[in-house]
Amino acid sequence: MDAPRQITYEQFPPIERPRRSGMLAVDDLHTLYWEESGNPDGVPVVYLHGGPGEGAPPTKRQFWDPDHYRIVLFDQRGALRSTPLAELRNNTTQALVTDLEALREHLGIDRWLITGGSWGTTLALAYGEAHPQSCLGFILRGVFLGTADEIDWFIYGMRRFFPRAHEDFINFIPEAERHDLLKAYLDRMKDDDEQLRMDAIRCWVRYSASCSLLRHDPDGVEEQASDDQTSIGMACLDAWYFKNKLFLEEDQLIRDIAAIAHLPCRIIQGGHDMIATPNSAFRLHKAWPGSVLTIVNDAGHSPSETGIISALIEATEQFKTRGAFS
């Protein structure tokens, strides 16, 4: 682990609109939204959002120096501006890995810096291990390795720290179905009853949002739950991927780490992250010789917390000047 940071880094000013954007058809069903900002001749960097259905809003453009980086954001299958919204068919980790490589080729990028948070770290590792020749390095925040233990922790284990939020989460489901909360929620999110569907989606998002911050923000939780466009994709795809064990073999990402272990990696982890717990970040760090792990002691899971923002910007600045993190 690296030494405590002495400088507080802040996000770069907002970029009002991307330099260019478009929609990329990746099969007969799915079309992805993508955009580019910053320096068209700069170091390419792609951001992999969480969720899997959260999407990449404009605020994510602010983590990189636009004079140095060619900043690529996109919404994964079923997320935010990609179509169809919350579509579960043809939506797997393997499909998203293929999409990411198709986007790289579409944009004419040779290699790019892979950055992501939460589920975005899962996808980053899966993509890197499949296409190491396409990667410059990795910046990973809130590591989630996609193991059965991590999924079980999210659904059942977090009640130990967030009993009220978990009680609300399980009380939405009849007691007879609580032995398989993932199936129960997914069934309701796919129901023809629109009111039941949206109630399940909002309940899921409230639970996730309530557990993501070190300091609880009830207004922020309700703001997230009331954003239907984001909530629909996020809740439906969360439940879909979790129910399918993220379409990964158990501990696959650690097993196959040798494919990318020669590349630079910076891991940034909230010390009180209850959604993607520090154990996963530490396991990845131990399995990846040369990786740099930063534990932000006063942070949870959210990328909006000050310490997380500072560590992320520090990492992008380090890579800008060194092409590495150590």
Three-state SS letters, 138-149: EEEECCCCCCHH
Bridge partners of 73, per DSSP, are 35, 47
Sign, CA torsion 150/53/242/155: positive
Residue 156 carries which DSSP code? T
Residue 55 above 70 pLDDT? Answer: yes
What pLDDT, in 10s, does the model give residues 15-38? 999 999 999 999 999 999 999 999
The answer to whether the beta carbons of residues 46 and 115 sit under 8 Å apart is: yes
Closest CA to 169 of 270, 269, 238, 85: 238
111-156, pLDDT tens digit by residue?
Answer: 999 999 999 999 999 999 999 999 999 999 999 999 999 999 999 9
What tokens appear for 226 in the block?
A: 């009331």
Residue 228 banded pLDDT, cuts 50, 70, 90: confident
How do residues 158-203 score in pLDDT, each as one tens digit?
999 999 999 999 999 999 999 999 999 999 999 999 999 999 999 9
CB 265 within 8 A of CB 288: yes
Active site residues: 118, 273, 301
Which bin fits 83, alpha (ψ -120 to 50), beta or left (φ > 0)?
beta
Per-residue confidence at 221, pLDDT binned at 50, 70, 90?
A: low
Is the confidence at residue 222, as pLDDT, over 70?
Answer: no
Q: What is the pTM of this model?
A: 0.94
Q: For residue 1, is pLDDT > 70? A: no
Half-sphere exposure of 119 (CA within 13 A, CB side): 30
Question: In the predicted model, what is the mean pLDDT of the chain?
Answer: 94
CA distances from 84 to 29, 248, 273 (A): 7, 24, 32
* Band of residue 217 on the pLDDT scale cut at 50, 70, 90: low
**pLDDT tens column, 148-166:** 999 999 999 999 999 999 9
Q: Give CATH 3.40.50.1820 domain extents, the chain.
A: 20-148+247-322
CATH topology of domain 20-148+247-322: Rossmann fold (3.40.50)
Q: What is residue 81's predicted lDDT score, i.e. its pLDDT?
A: 96
Mean pLDDT for 99-111 is 98
Q: Which spans in 38-92 are helix H?
A: none
pLDDT band at 230 (very low <50, low <70, confident <90, very high): confident
Rounded to 5, what percent of the chain is helix, strand, coil? 45, 15, 40
What is the pLDDT at residue 94?
98
Q: Is the pLDDT of residue 224 over 90?
A: no
Task: Find the range with the poorest average confidence among 35-39, 205-209, 223-227, 288-292.
Answer: 223-227
Residue 281 vs residues 2, 67, 267, 296: alpha-carbon distances, Å: 14, 31, 7, 12
- Taking residues 247-270, what's their average pLDDT? 98
pLDDT digits (tens, 9 = 90+) for 233-244: 999 999 999 999
> Band of the pLDDT at 218, cuts 50, 70, 90?
low
